[in-house]
Amino acid sequence: MSGSMETKNASPERVRVRNLPSTGKLKGIMMRYMLKSKIVELFRRKSAWVTAGFPVEICYVYGVHPLHPENSACISGARKYSLELIEHAESLGFSRDLCSYFKTNVGATEKGIKLKQGGIGKPTFMGSTNTICDTHVKWFQIQARRMEVPYFGFDIPSAVAGTGDARMEEYIDYVVAQFYDFFDFMEDLTGKKITEKKFQEVLRKSDKLCELWHEIYKYRKDVPTPVAFQDTLAAIFPMVLLPGLDVGIKYYQALLKDIKERVAEGKGAMPPGKEKYRLIFEGIPMWYRIKFFHELANYGAVVTYEPYTFSFGPRKRLGLPLDESLRDFARLMIDVPYNYSLEKRIEYFEQVIDEYNIDGVILHSNMSCRPSCSGMLDLKKSIQRDKGIPVWVMDCDQNDPRSYAEGPMKNRMESFIELLEQNKE
């Protein structure tokens, strides 16, 4: 790689990525959610800790308030509290190479920090799945024991390469049976029975949220893109915690209105003429170093697609009897991008590269989240071979700032930009 390229050591002009005007509304939504969490805790109403991949909609069917330790952990990261909490967890004997979300959560509960710093209240129960990782299971088992609350775990099979239709149907049967166990668990806990009407209402709203999310993504194919990662990384909050409520739907409708206006004016997220390289960013971002994405923007690079944020919004099939709805739900829980076989993952990325006019890919090789990073080097090789675009496998961590070395990261970013530039010529 040439050291004489003008990107090397040059201080690029500062480029301001323009957030959508309605992105600011998220703050109010989060504040109201936190207030509700506080009220639920104070009045000892029913609440649950849930992980990514857990069918959070079922909590709303039973009137249980969901809390999301992964989301709380990223708040700690973004507000620069995570290191202190991680180190506290390590002082209790949890090792350096365990997931930093888990350790942030242990530190947060031990120290009893405030909600706005990423604290989280004691729940009525904890529910996780092993979708993506086994950490979800061990994390909640450990914390449920420490806090003396019940735990419910969904065991989700991995549909590895070669999983045929018949085997998939068996997997679905297996997950559906667990849904019925979970309903029994919830009935015991809340004294309420599931009603099909309520279930369908929550499902319809959850799907509406996903429909809007997909529409937002559709606009991201435009050149210039009207929406950057700087918007979507926060905008997934309703998808993670509020599926089944109206509040997220209204928020996404407001975002879409902004997007349509921007597109009609021919404007993008970057200032006019500044969008040079369109990127995929794969993985959880470094919450303590979101500035990274602004630095990319200074070189004209904008993230226009993230498998991470997109994966929270699968469409549901509506109007089915309960048992059929559960089969559909089970299929979605099994068939998430982070459970894809390598072949399917390569196909997925290459399709996105074509559809979104992608110039380069950043794969976050995340020290915390090893399961979501498996196969990254093969993925890189395939993308480079088939699509001829640069791929940067970036070694870092989502919540542990010790993994982010400023100097080397700056050098690697500049080298990646040089490759993008050479590839365009």
Q: Which of residues 284-313 bind ligand SF4 (CB under 6 A)?
A: 284
Distance CA 29, CA 31 (A): 5
Of 136, 262, 316, 364, the one binding ligand SF4 (CB under 6 A) is 136
**Closest approach of ligand SF4 to the CB of residue 228, in Å:** 23
Q: Please report, as a single letter, which amino acid is at residue 111.
A: K
SS3 67: strand
At residue 56, φ and ψ (nearest 5 deg) are: -60, -25
Which residues lie below 8 Å from residue 407, measured CB to CB, with a gap of 6+? Answer: none
**Closest approach of ligand SF4 to the CB of residue 164, in Å:** 27
Of 311, 372, 382, 403, the one binding ligand SF4 (CB under 6 A) is 372
Of 37, 105, 135, 304, the one binding ligand SF4 (CB under 6 A) is 135
Q: Which of residues 60-89 bind ligand SF4 (CB under 6 A)?
A: 70
Question: Among 129-137, 159-167, 192-200, 256-264, which window interacts with ligand SF4 (CB under 6 A)?
Answer: 129-137
CB 401 within 8 A of CB 83: yes
Nearer to ligand SF4, 47 or 131 (CB): 131
Of 58, 67, 132, 346, the one binding ligand SF4 (CB under 6 A) is 132
**Closest approach of ligand SF4 to the CB of residue 282, in Å:** 13
- Going residue by residue from 29 to 58, which x/- string records binding to ligand SF4, judged by CB under 6 A? -----------------------x------
Torsion angle (degrees, nearest 10) of CA 277, 24, 247, 119? 100
- Going residue by residue from 314 to 353, which x/- string records binding to ligand SF4, judged by CB under 6 A? ----------------------------------------
Q: Which of residues 157-196 bind ligand SF4 (CB under 6 A)?
A: none
**Closest approach of ligand SF4 to the CB of residue 388, in Å:** 31
b/e burial code for range 251-288 (CB count within 10 A of at least 16 → b): bbebbbebbeebbeeeebbbeeebbbbbbbbbbbbbbb
Nearer to ligand SF4, 99 or 203 (CB): 99
DSSP strand pairing (277-282 vs 360-366): parallel
Nearer to ligand SF4, 98 or 270 (CB): 98
- Going residue by residue from 243 to 282, which x/- string records binding to ligand SF4, judged by CB under 6 A? ----------------------------------------
**Closest approach of ligand SF4 to the CB of residue 103, in Å:** 10
Q: In what order do the strands lie in the sheet with 301-305?
A: 301-305, 277-282, 360-366, 391-396
Nearer to ligand SF4, 132 or 326 (CB): 132
**Closest approach of ligand SF4 to the CB of residue 3, in Å:** 36
Number of residues that bind ligand SF4 (CB under 6 A): 12
**Closest approach of ligand SF4 to the CB of residue 383, in Å:** 22
b/e burial code for range 12-24 (CB count within 10 A of at least 16 → b): eeebebbbbebbe
Nearer to ligand SF4, 23 or 365 (CB): 365
**Closest approach of ligand SF4 to the CB of residue 145, in Å:** 17
Class of residue 4 by CB neighbours under 10 A (exposed 0-12, middle 13-18, buried 19+)? exposed
**Closest approach of ligand SF4 to the CB of residue 369, in Å:** 3
- Token reading at 341: 């076989």
Q: Partners of 255 in the beta sheet?
A: none
101 touches ligand SF4 by CB under 6 A? yes
Helix axes 196-219, 322-334, angle to 10 degrees: 40
Distance CA 399, CA 69 (A): 13
**Closest approach of ligand SF4 to the CB of residue 361, in Å:** 20
Q: Provide the 8-state DSSP code for 5.
A: S
At residue 120, φ and ψ (nearest 5 deg) are: -155, 140
Length of the chain equals 425
Residue ranges in contact with ligand SF4 by CB under 6 A:
52, 70, 99, 101, 132-133, 135-136, 284, 368-369, 372
